[in-house]
Structure 1
Amino acid sequence: MSILQAAYYHPDQVVHNDFYFEHFDRQGKDIRNFLAAMGRKNRYVADRAEENALTMGVKAAEKALKDAGLSGEDIDMFVFATQTPEYTYPTNALLLHNRLKGKHRAVTMDSNANCAGMVTAVEQSSRYMRSNPQVRYALIVGCDFSTVNCNPEDEITYANFGDAAAAVILERGGQGQGLIDSLYYTDSDIHESITFPACGLSNVYRADVRPEDIYIRWLPFDGTVCVDAAIEDIKELVSRNGLELDDICAFCLSQFSLKNIELIRNGLGQPEEKFIYVGDEFGYTATSSPFIAFQRGVEQGNIKRGDHLIFWSVGAGWQIPTMLLRY
């Protein structure tokens, strides 16, 4: 189930670190070292009056279809991975199907594994395609409209997130081998550290609920908590498939933290050029970030057909999927 085509979309508006420095300076918070550790410079921010997760996802999907020479009629399975759906019903995948003029004989499904969502959706879609020969093409879109849901008084989210979408078309057969293997690591002990809406969906209509109770709530915790597990899982996945780390041509990891990427790279003993980083330009785009990194690597010639790749991300709470794929 190979990757036929991938694409990404980002809004036009670029916001530089200086805006956030000044914003938090007025609150008595110096976030310069924090943004340096996260690896931020710019981020794309959607116009909340004009764009949302659905509209951005549609634009990424349209580009992927155009570049692949396909139309919505060709797609047998539509999957939309998001933790900020514009609607909970109908699904974003159903609306994507409508916008792209999909055929009646098609699967539509939304998926939410938080920031690990698109890696999980591609992995699970690949496995579903193996068991259903009627699916030749699957379109997986990942997009979170995060900036609108960030508390302006919280530097971890407000200064860190950006908005962008990614789309991947999986093809039965095709040029690449596609998914080789995957594994998951879940530790739910810190499940209360990141919550959205902070008050719980059942409480959003209460008269005493304040805006800050609805925004993303991010309680402080050690952001490097997932690094050791990531290193061990990547090693295990590579080893059990008869490969060496040197056989991996590129690592497309969560773009949440440059520091985490550096720690993982050092733990694996791999050169910096194998780790594609776009978080300085895009900010942290959550579920789409590993596949924006992937497509940037393709565009820049760092990823070529036949290359072995590692995809890795981490979802709130936390769960980490790791995927070995041959492009």
Structure 2
Amino acid sequence: MTNIKIREVEVYHPENQVRNQYYLDHFNRQGKDIDRLLKAFGKDKRYIINNADENTLTMGIEASKKVLDKAGLKGEDIDLIIFTSQFPEYTIPPQSLMVHEAIKGKAETFCTDSNTDCVGMIVAFDYASRYLKGSDNMKRALIIGADYMSVHCREEDEYTYPLFGDSACAVILEKTEEDCGFIDSFYTTNSEYPDIVKFPACGASKTYESEINDRKVDWTPFDGSFIIQYAKESIDKLLQKHSMNFNDINWFCFSQFALPIIDGSAEKFEVNREKFIYVGDKYGYTGTSSPFIALYEGIKSGQVKRGDNVAFWSIGGNWITCAMLVRY
């Protein structure tokens, strides 16, 4: 039986690391005390681009080169490239095409970009796994998730500016006969409140109007208490479908948006909190790549081992959620 395994995972982030004190001082000058907010969200450090040479695309290219080198592969070994981002540097040409050029990919490669907001990299992984399984001509896929988030945040918005970080993650998937890899996914969508988060806030068609200054992220604070229930219901349905239970999951790589998602999920699922990998205190919230940066850190630390069952879950786009099971 052909399965789709994770061959390698790599991460790229800018060198500039910013700690909480910078944001505490920044908002104190605005008459705001965000100390409790940062503690509640579980933030401490984050990587922030502070030069004109880096962006979503350059970070994605660097992550791609790193993961190919780690796997001992070349660009010509890749059959499918998917680049997922909420904040692409370009929409034309596709960023995947520019990655293809940077890694010297072959002519037969299928390149495409996608955007499902913060759940994007899980969705891209799902797409790629199913596509590889259904294609006789493809063996390997390169999945890239990258977001240059900090530049698009309003500096007076305490719910985005101090919480987000800039990073990229790249994953190589490949066909195998081993008993491992992609198991299944499950989606939930609720489009009742589509305008809670928008970018650009004014709409792309109005960005050229000189009187418009509302071009950055428009983030309306919302009650996120429903998020954990969404996650539990999705993972429950996947586990039931495959005759598994929560004890069969070795690791949970969930959205790193806020620490309460991690702590609350562990409590709701009635599983050991140590099974939930949290790196949002080190990277900040990196958007589409966050569940896979958690996986990367779990592998790097020696926690996640081959044969372990990993549950992924994230939410984006007001609200699109995806749960996914993978045997690493």
4+ runs of 1 displaced by more than 4 Å? Answer: none
CA contact (8 A) 2:255 2:261 kept: no
Pairing 1:270-285 to 2, within 5 Å after superposition: 270-285=271-286
- The offset of 1:224, in angstroms, is 2.6
Does residue 82 (structure 1) correspond to residue 85 (structure 2)? The answer is yes
- Residue 50 of structure 1 corresponds to 53
Aligned counterpart in structure 2 of residue 158 of structure 1, from 153, 156, 161:
161
Distance 2:310 2:236 in 1: 13
Q: Where does the alignment leave 5 or more consecutive residues of structure 2 unmatched?
A: none
Does residue 167 (structure 1) correspond to residue 140 (structure 2)? The answer is no
- The offset of 1:178, in angstroms, is 1.2
Identity %: 45
- The offset of 1:29, in angstroms, is 1.1
Letter of the aligned partner of 1:53 in structure 2?
Answer: T
Distance 2:66 2:13 in 1: 12
Distance 1:150 1:43 in 2: 14
CA RMSD of aligned residues (A): 0.9
Does residue 136 (structure 1) correspond to residue 139 (structure 2)? The answer is yes
TM-score, scaled to structure 1: 0.98
Letter of the aligned partner of 1:106 in structure 2?
Answer: T
Distance 1:161 1:229 in 2: 23
Does residue 114 (structure 1) correspond to residue 117 (structure 2)? The answer is yes
- The offset of 1:105, in angstroms, is 0.5
- The offset of 1:175, in angstroms, is 4.6
- Residue 318 of structure 1 corresponds to 319
Match of 1:172, SS?
strand
Distance 2:229 2:274 in 1: 21
Does residue 40 (structure 1) correspond to residue 43 (structure 2)? The answer is yes
- Residue 64 of structure 1 corresponds to 67
Distance 2:155 2:224 in 1: 20
TM-score, scaled to structure 2: 0.97
Distance 2:200 2:107 in 1: 34
- The offset of 1:238, in angstroms, is 1.2
Distance 1:33 1:245 in 2: 32
Distance 1:162 1:119, change over 3 A: same
Does residue 186 (structure 1) correspond to residue 189 (structure 2)? The answer is yes
- The offset of 1:174, in angstroms, is 6.0
- The offset of 1:226, in angstroms, is 1.7
- Residue 102 of structure 1 corresponds to 105
Match of 2:188, SS?
strand
CA contact (8 A) 1:81 1:142 kept: yes
Q: Where does the alignment leave 5 or more consecutive residues of structure 1 unmatched?
A: none
- Residue 32 of structure 2 corresponds to 29
- Residue 227 of structure 1 corresponds to 228
Distance 1:149 1:63 in 2: 26
> How many residues matched?
325
CA contact (8 A) 1:2 1:174 kept: no
Aligned counterpart in structure 2 of residue 149 of structure 1, from 152, 155, 158:
152
Match of 1:322, SS?
strand
- Residue 236 of structure 1 corresponds to 237
